[in-house]
Structures are given as C-alpha cells and as structure tokens.
Amino acid sequence: MPFEARRWPVWRQVTGKDLLGLGRTATSALTEGRTARTTTADRVATSICPYCAVGCGQLVYVHEGEVTQIEGDPASPLSRGRLCPKGAASRELVNSPLRELKVKYRRPHGSSWEEISLESAMDMIADRVIATRDATFEEVDEQGRPLRRTMGIASLGGATVDNEENYLWRKLMVGLGVVQVENQARI
Amino acid sequence: MNSDCIVVMGSNMAECHPVAFQWVVEAQKRGGKLVHVDPRFTRTSALADLHIPLRAGSDIAFLGGLIRYVLENQRYFRDYVVKYTNAATIIDERFLDTEDLDGFFSGWNQDQGMYENRTWQYRGGSVWAAAGQRTAPAPQGDGVVVAGEVPFEDPSLEDPHCVFQLLRRHFSRYTEEMVERTCGVPAAQFRRVAELICDSSGPERSTCFVYAVGWTQHTVGVQYIRSAAILQLLLGNMGRPGGGILALRGHANIQGATDIATLFDVLPGYLPMPMASDSTDLDGFCLPHGGAAGGYWGNLKAYLVSLLKAYWGDAATPDNQFAFDHLPRLTGDHSTYQSTLGMVDGGVKGFFVLGENPAVGSAHGTLHRRGLRNLDWLVVRDLYEIETASFWYDSPEVAAGEVRSEEIGTEVFLLPAAAHTEKDGSFTNTQRLLQWHERAIDPAGDRRSDLWFAYWLGRRIREKLAGRHRDRDRPLLDLTWEYPLEGEQQEPKAEAVLREISGVAADGSPLPGLGALRDDGSTSSGAWIYCGAFAGGQNQAARRRPHWEQSWVAPEWGWAWPMNRRVLYNRASADPSGQPWSERKRYLAWDPEQGRWTGPDVPDFPVDRAPTYKPPPGASAENSLPGDRPFVMQADGRGWLFAPSGLLDGPLPTHYEPQESVTRNPLYEQEANPARQRFLRPDNPYHPTAGEEGADRFPFVMTTYRLTEHHTAGGMSRFLTRLSQLQPEMFCEVSPELAELRQLRPGGWATIVTERASIEARVLVTARVTPLRAQGRQVHQVGLPYHWGSRGLARGDSANDLFPLVLDPNVHIQEVKAGTCDIRPGRRADQAPS
C-alpha cells in the first residue's frame, strides 16, 4: 500500500489503536498546523452562561480586545466543563453582526428607524419619564390614603440581566413611584 | 446525584436543562431510578426507567393519587410526619372541604369571587404564612398568634379535625381508577410509580421531584407545586440529601430577578410591598405581616428597616419611620398582564422592556402588540432587534394589513445592551447560587449595561428634578445614589452595588450575615436573604475554587442564599434528637460535645441550638421554635401539609380542569379553579369548555414546550446562525392518529386555530405524542414549541398567540400548558397555499 493511502484517516483508524476515531486519527497535516484560539488568548475571564438558570461555568478567551472563544469551565461543580448547544453558541451571541450597536429611534407615526446619539436618547427618555410621571401621579386614593405612585409607567424584564442591575433598577422605580415592575417570573 | 429516585414531571430536563441532567444520569449510575411523567415522549423519557404519558392539565389528579396511595398503604415516614409536619395540628372545626362542598372550600364568597380563610386556621390560633399572601389571617379564638407551639394537636393523628385525617378525607376519591379516568394513565402504570417512590423514600433512601413551567403555567399552578410538597413531606424527603423539589428555571437570572426584586408585589427578599389599605405606621405594617409570628419572619421589621436604610440612607431615620412613607402603595394586582391591559385601555403610557420579549413570550401576543401600539413611548433594551421593538412595522397585524405603521403613534427607543461578557455582575441560578461573571471586554458603540442605564437615567432624572422641591420627588431625590464609576464609559462598579445589597453596619463595615440585621437603623442591607454575599469585604459570589479541591457540596464555589446554605431546611436530615436518620443519608448531625450542628453544609438552623431546646416564655422569631422544628421560616417550624394561610385558592390542592378542557371535571360540578383570574372582555375570548355548547369546535388539547436549541422567546437564539440551522422552523407535533384524523401530512403545513389567533406550522407526525383515553373518550394532544416570531434568522408563527389571558390567582401566571384548539391541514388563510 502506498504511503499516502496509509495516511488516510480511516485506514489509520481501522489499523491503529484509535478505533473510535476520537484520537490522533482525526488529525491531518492541515489540522496539526492549526492553533486553538484558547492558546493564543491574551487573557481569560471567568463567566457564567447567560441562557438558562442552571448556571454553567464559562471561560471567556480574549485576544486583542475581542472575545475569540467561550468554553465550559471544567472547575465548575455544576457543569464540570460542559455547555449545551446554546451555551456553546454564546460566542456568536456576543459577536454576531446582527447585534445592535447604535441607538435606534422611531418617532411617533414614523415609517423607519432613525439614528440618534445615546446622549440624546437618555435625555429624551428622562424627559418622557418626568412628563408621564407628572401627568399620571397619584398622591392619594379616593379615601385619602397615600399612594405616592404613577400607574402611567410600567417595566418588564430582569431575568436576563444581573442581580445588581435588577436591584438598582427596582430602587430607581421605587423612588419614582413606578409600581408596575415585573419580570419573566410569570411566563 | 444522591437520589434513589427522581421524578421529572412538568419538565423535559434532558432537552431544556441538559447540563444539569448529567446529575440525573449520575444518580442512575449509582442505582437511582428516573420516572418521567409528561404528555410527550422526549429525550428525558428515553433515558427514564419509566415514562408515563398523561393528559396535559391533569397532574394534580396524578399527584393526589400518589398522596392517597401513601396515606392508605401506610407508606408515609411516620416519625418525620408527626414531628416535622403539621399533620397532628387540629384545624378549626368549621373548616369544610371540597369533598363537602362539591369543589369549593369553606369561606368562598361568590360575589367577590374569592376565599376568606378564617375557617382554614388552626384551632385556637391564627398562623402567618411564610410565602404567598402574607397578609394577616382572620384572628382566631383569643387572638393567639402562633409562634412555635400550636394550641391543639394530636400526635396519634386520629383526631377527625387533625390535618392528617383531613388529608385522608380530601384525597379519598383519588383512587387509581380515578387517576386512570382523569389522566389517561392505566392503573398498573400508576401503581408502578407509586411503589417506586415509596420504596425509594424513608430513613435509608430519598426521592427528588423536578419540575419546570409544565407545572407552573396553569390556572392552578401553585397547587401543582403544593401537591408535590405534600407528597415529599409525607415521604420525609424535604431537607435531606437526594430529596427535595427542584424547580428548573429558564433564564440565567430569573431567580435573582425574583429575589431582589423586579416584581410588583414584593420588595427585595420577599418583603411585602405595602398596600394603600395597610397601616402607614411601620409597626402597624410589620405586625400584621407576620412580624410577631414564630420563625425567621418574626424579624421582618429588622429586614425591612435595613432595606429602607439601603434605599434612603441618612434620610431614613427613627423619626420618620425610616422613610417607610417613601414606598409607593399598591391597590391590587399590578402584575404584567394588568399592565398590558392598561396599555390597551390607555392608562399605561410609557413602558420599559429590559431583555424580555413579551410580543412572543407572553400569552395572547395579539393583545400585547395591541398594547404596544397604544403607548406614548417604549424603551426596549436588548442585544438584538426583537419583535417587541419592531411591532410597528414587522408584526402579524402589519403583515396582514390590519394596521399600517403610520397609524401607530408609539415613540420607540431601542437601546443596545451589553452582553454578559461585557460587564461584571452576578446571576443567581436555579439552586439559589450567586455566581459572578467578569467583564472580559468593554462594550462597543452605544452598548451599555443595564446597570449603566439605571444609574445614568436615575442620575439624569434626579438632576432635572433637583430644583423643583416637590414633595412627590423626595423618595427619588433621597435615594442613596453614589456609586464609584469606572472607565471611559463611566460604568458604575457592580461590586459596590453587591456590597450595598449584602449590607453594612453603621460604621460602613460589611455585615457577616442576616443574623446581624437590626430594626433600629444601625444596619443597612438591600436584600436580607443576600446578607453576607459580601461578608468580610470579599465578593463571595466570585469564589471559584475548583470542585476537585473541595467536598461534593462545593461550598466554596459561588455563594448560595441564605448564608451559603446549599440544602434548605437541612435540620430535617437529622432525627428529632439530632442524629442522622441513617448513615446512608447522613448530612447534618448534632455534636453534643461541641454543642453545635456539624456536617458538610451550613446548618439551616441556629448553629448552637440543641435538639432539646424549649423556647422560654416570650421568646420571639426563630427563638420561639423548639430545637426539633426544622422549617425555620414557618411560624410553627413545621412543613405544611395543610396551608391555613398564604393561598388564595384553598389550603389543599384539588383537581380542577384547565379554563379550556376537552373533558369534564370527574370530581366536582365545579369545573375549574373558582378563584382563577379571568378577564371577561371581547378581546380575550375563551372557548366553551367540555359539556358547553360549541366545545366541539376545539376538540384537541394543546400544550407549549421548548427545544434545546432555542431560548424562551428566541431573542437570544433566533438571531444565531448555528442555532437557527439546528431548529430552523416552527412546527407542531401530532400523533399518527391525529394526523390521519385531520389529514395532516408529515412536513406539510397545518394551521392551529383558536378564538384568539390562527397560526401555521410544519407538521411533525410522531408516536411521541400518544392519544390517551380519558373519561371514555380519545384525547388528542398537539405539542407546540413557542420560540418563534417574525424576526431573526429562523422565523415562524408564535404559539403563545393562540392562548387567552387566564391566570393562577396566587402568582398571576398564564395558563399555556393546557388549552383547546382545532388543527387543519394547510396554511393560514392570509398565506399562499402550499
């Protein structure tokens, strides 16, 4: 048998010790020339999978300011290095070109998105909150009991963001008197 | 891993929580058995020792059958039941059961459509609930408030009014024949499950129950969980290794968001939000909310005052009741579905949506999108442009020509959010474990964390209002709002927020734990249950000691609330005298020489409290509980088989049909949960239910579910190429029998029809959904994954559009796991024929 044919992976798999093809027979000159992104990373951040509530450990590999790879963290007593298809896809979740990068604004009755700066968006939102709150503020109920709230504003979401974010958001809503604050717990 | 038997019910764990499922497989390798009870045969069933298909919406009948089996065959763990549950407690003799009143408990008020729980109380004393509706129960007898000892009990369990006998009577009709008729589960199959869980429980063994939204999304969802709690208490499986009830939650931080707390009715740490009808006096508020009850809730005032100090700092003083008046007041249910109706009806003008997609993920999507169209302004913060942001130009209604973009007056801001890799912060997982994720890189462009958004929006509004000196602005302007800012983007430091949540003493030093909290304003803590997460000035959530360097409990990985306890109520792992029930199930044990509880976990009990402890007269809170009462959050320290308060729809679970059902209730004339929350309005039509005229127009059961490759409403999965390739299209799952009946072709189109919407889906014909025989008729079920919408790379119709708004009364959750529908071959009317 010619030398080239003996390099054929199936030949090596059947004749060698790697019958399941999970070891060296799966490699070739091409793959041997490759370098794993995990080895070239500048640094590795410890993280947690953002999908479900199992909380699998992740290692986030960063090279030149970019997330180049996300792997399961073998040290986690919960996940022992494993990720499901969603967790394994989380590098694309954070790097996808479909991800929004700039603020999008749609004016009332508008037919398209417009670009505005983050600074103006924040200012406009603050003005909307103040105006709606003032227009709908309820000091007391019909029996004169204090309410100190607005029913004109509602908020939904929290299960995909951090504890610290939930806490600070709720604190702000309490301060504003917004009581209709909810998250994914009811779905 | 330590379970001898695992019952997965209302969940497809292998596909929806696959990485956690490795521990089920580990348990099986050690000889444990897996039972899967679910309408569909899934990968969980494939690995199960026993798969039991049942009719969607009939789980309480099945669990009630198991409860009856355990009671009537004396398979309960008697020592555990007598000592650790309220089985022996005598209930008010005026209590009447659903068996007496044909589907109602005593106390039903037909005019108000709700229960009054006076007759559900303990004889001679009212008792506060540890969870749920925590308002004061009606006073009993001499106004005794239960703290520790209950006024009347019968440890022989023979008194006809003791909980144990009430339970026997209540479940007496849940025979295996009734289970077969109601659930479509043959008696022999049912008996195998019953024998297996009984054989796998007791001093030497333990059984675990696992559920997900298949149990919660019902008009009687809370009572599903109660059924499992009763069963696990009777079998002695709570607080012990390999036991318990595990809720598998679907979002990375759904637990944390619930804990600290983006929910209208609770403040961080499940402290009740005040109602307008509550006293404006701080003590007058705390006492009727359990502040005098036994157990840890007796410290309610210390927890609340510490939160008020965290919110308002120096502006919260003893003279102004620690700014208790700054809290806004509730006047009823202000949950998300009420807000949606508020948008439709015009009361709600502005709406923030943070990383959620209600246009796809919530029941009756059509109504949600109508609400969005009626807003003045909407702020959506997300990674991607989801359906909730695009409703004004890309929605089923716009596509069908029902509305035009120009007619929609909503002003929309779509703000790009930072991903988990672009910010520091903690998630709380489904086992209450706080785990920290690090910022790997800074977010690009306009992407910002929600912490940044909350902080800078708050700061901007405060600056705009600072000059106008109006009383209504005081709660806002008095908030403590100083956080260190970092980097070019001026990102607030997340650890500083965690430090505030965990809490500090008057001198600013971090608190060691919740035992340090005081009601005099000398401590502050943003969430008492998280107190200690920053103990010693260290971010405890960020701990990541590898599992191979510590015990199997892994106490040095992350931090579990409260106090880093991994198994709740773990005092129950030892017998009343403090010794392990068995060597095989050893966890905590009392060491008389050291005078403390020892074991691999943090004791969920005062660490030096001897098993023989008897509370002195006048003892309060946890000190009022004797040393052999493991359930330290309960006023009587016992697990509640019977819940005298806390629930709006009865002290015991009982089988009710879903709002829309293909069969009549086999037990009662009363079909569905009488206390369920309905919305009788033209834009929310309900189908006639079985036995009513027109019910045959919707002859099939429908249920929703999830796939491994997609995440909830799809915002984090439908925009990804690989996940979209793996699950590219909406489909419906039907049996060969139903396919033949309705002439549905595999791979072809079907339209699923309800009064709310018609959606189209590809047909998947599979034997995984078996038709069942229930109440003498063939019941066909249609399975519907609910991930799709009009956006992203993988698109399709939304299953949730099919469902009406009808909710569980306790927690306002939607019923989307059991409804009725019709299914026809071909595409929707407004689509081209295939």
For residue B292, name the pLDDT band (cuts at 50, 70, 90): confident
Q: Tell whether B221 is covered by a domain.
A: yes
Our count of domains for chain B comes to 2
- Listed residues B247, B278, B296: the one ending a domain: B247
**pLDDT at B137 (0 to 100):** 63
* Single-letter residue type at B260: I
Predicted pLDDT at A2:
65
Q: In the sheet where B207-211 sits, what is the strand order? A: B50-52, B33-37, B5-9, B207-211, B245-247
Whole-number pLDDT of residue A32: 83
Q: Is the sign of the CA dihedral B218, B222, B225, B226 positive or negative?
A: negative
Rounded (10°) angle between helices B59-72 and B221-234? 20
Residue-wise pLDDT tens digits, A76-86: 999 999 999 99
Strands annotated E in B251-320: 266-267, 271-272
| Mean pLDDT for all residues in chain B | 96
- Judged against a pLDDT cut of 70, whether residue A3 lies above it is answered with no
Instruction: Note the maximum CA span of chain B.
Output: 80
Average confidence (pLDDT) over B697-704:
97
- Which residue spans of chain A are classified as CATH 2.20.25.90? 36-99
pLDDT greater than 70 at residue B244: yes
Name the band, by pLDDT with cuts 50, 70 and 90, for residue B357.
very high
pLDDT at B96 over 80: yes
Residues of A in contact with B489 (CB under 8 A): none
Rounded Cα distance between B726 and B742, Å, is 28
pLDDT value, residue A22? 82
pLDDT at A1 over 60: no
Find the Cα–Cα–Cα–Cα dihedral B398, B404, B405, B409, rounded to 10°.
-120
Q: Which chain A residues are within 8 Å of B342, Cβ to Cβ?
A: 151, 154, 180
- How far lies B537's CA from each of B510, B529, B565, B600, in Å? 6, 17, 19, 24
What pLDDT was estimated at residue A46?
98
What is the DSSP secondary structure assignment for residue A100, as one 8-state letter?
-
Token representation of residue A72: 């399961």
* Section B523-537 average pLDDT: 98
Q: What is the pLDDT of residue B582?
A: 98
| Average pLDDT value for residue range B386-411 | 97
CATH of the domain at B242: 3.40.228.10
B808 within 8 A of B815, measured Cβ to Cβ = yes
Cα(B255)–Cα(B242) distance, integer angstroms: 21
Chain B residues with beta carbon closer than 8 angstroms to that of A175: 311, 326, 458, 475-476, 478-479
Contact residues on chain A for B465, CB-CB shorter than 8 A? 130
Question: What pLDDT was estimated at residue B138?
Answer: 62
B235 in a structural domain: yes
Rounded to 10°, the helix B187-199/B176-183 angle is 120
Q: Do B263 and A84 touch (CB under 8 A)?
A: no
Structure tokens belonging to residue B668? 């009662």
Looking up tokens 């005032």, which residue turns up? B301
With a cut of 90, say whether residue B312 has pLDDT above it. Answer: yes
CB pairs under 8 A between A and B: 485
What confidence category does residue B99 fall into, taking pLDDT thresholds of 50, 70 and 90?
very high
Over residues B570-597, the pLDDT tens digits come to 999 999 999 999 999 999 999 999 999 9
Q: Is the pLDDT of residue B291 over 80?
A: no
- Full 3-state SS string of B224-269: HHHHHHHHHHHCCCCCCCCCCEEECCCCCCHHHHHHCCCCCCEECC
Per-residue pLDDT, A21: 82
Domain interval for residue B225: 5-247
Q: Which of B251, B501, B547 sits opposite A167 (nearest CB)?
A: B501
pLDDT band at B523 (very low <50, low <70, confident <90, very high): very high
Using pLDDT thresholds of 50, 70 and 90, give the confidence band for residue B80: very high
State how beta strands B523-524 and B504-505 pair: antiparallel
Segment A92-98 shows an average pLDDT of 98
CATH number of the CATH domain containing B691: 2.40.40.20
d(CA B157, CA B389): 59
Report pLDDT for B802.
98
Identify whether the C-beta of residue B255 lies closer than 8 Å to the C-beta of residue B428: yes
Q: What is the DSSP string of B464-533?
A: HHTTS--GGGHHHHTS-----EETTTTEEPHHHHHHHHH-EETTSPBP--GGG--SSSSEE-S-GGGTTT
From B231, B247, B263, give the residue that closes a domain: B247
Q: What is the DSSP code (8-state) at residue B595?
A: T
* Across A119-123, B134-138, B211-215, B446-450, least confident range: B134-138
Nearest residue, CB atoms, A165 vs list B347, B451, B720: B451
Cis-peptide into B580, omega within 30 deg = no
Q: Which residue has the higher pLDDT, A14 or B769?
A: B769
CA distance B250 to B31: 29
A135 upstream amide cis, omega within 30 of 0: no
Q: Which of B165, B182, B222 is nearest to B65 (CA)?
A: B182
pLDDT at A31: 83
Angle at B320 between CA A148 and CA B136, to 5 degrees: 65
Distance from CA of B707 to the nearest CA of A (A): 10
Residue type for position B388: T
CB contact under 8 Å between B451 and A172, yes or no, is no
As to burial, measured by CB atoms within 10 angstroms (0-12 exposed, 13-18 middle, 19+ buried), residue B449 is: buried
Q: What are phi and psi of B806, to 5 degrees?
A: -155, 130
Percentage of chain B modeled with pLDDT above 90? 94
Lookup result for tokens 């709740």: B568
Render pLDDT for B328-347 as a digit per residue (tens, 0 to 9): 999 999 999 999 999 999 99
Q: How many CB atoms lie within 10 A of CB B188?
A: 9
d(CA B80, CA B73): 17
pLDDT score at B834: 40
Q: Answer yes or no: is B587 within a domain.
A: no
Under 8 Å CB-to-CB from A1, ≥6 apart: which residues? A11
Reported as a pLDDT band with limits 50, 70 and 90, residue A12 is: confident
Q: Indicate if ipTM > 0.90.
A: yes
Interface contact A151-B476, CB threshold 8 A: no
Name the nearest CA neighbour of B85 among B439, B811, B572. B572
* B308 Cβ contact list (under 8 Å, min separation 6): B316, B322, B323, B324, B326, B327
CA angle A9, A15, A16 (to 5 degrees): 80
Other beta carbons within 10 Å of B646: 22
User: How is residue A124 annotated by DSSP?
Assistant: H
Residue ending a domain, among B200, B216, B247, is: B247
CB contact under 8 A, B460 and A96: no
pLDDT of B833 reads 44
Of B410, B457, B498, the CB nearest to A108: B410
- pLDDT tens, residue by residue, A126-179: 999 999 999 999 999 999 999 999 999 999 999 999 999 999 999 999 999 999
Q: The domain A36-99 belongs to what CATH superfamily?
A: ADC-like domains (2.20.25.90)
At B204-227, the pLDDT tens digits run 999 999 999 999 999 999 999 999
Q: Measured at the alpha carbon of residue B131, what is the angle toward residues B130 and B132, in degrees to the nearest 5?
A: 140
The encoded tokens of residue B480 equal 């403590």
- Read off the DSSP letter of residue B189: H
CB contact under 8 A, B252 and A139: no
Q: Residue A50 contacts by C-beta under 8 Å, 6 or more apart in sequence?
A: A90, A93, A160, B252, B419, B420, B427, B716
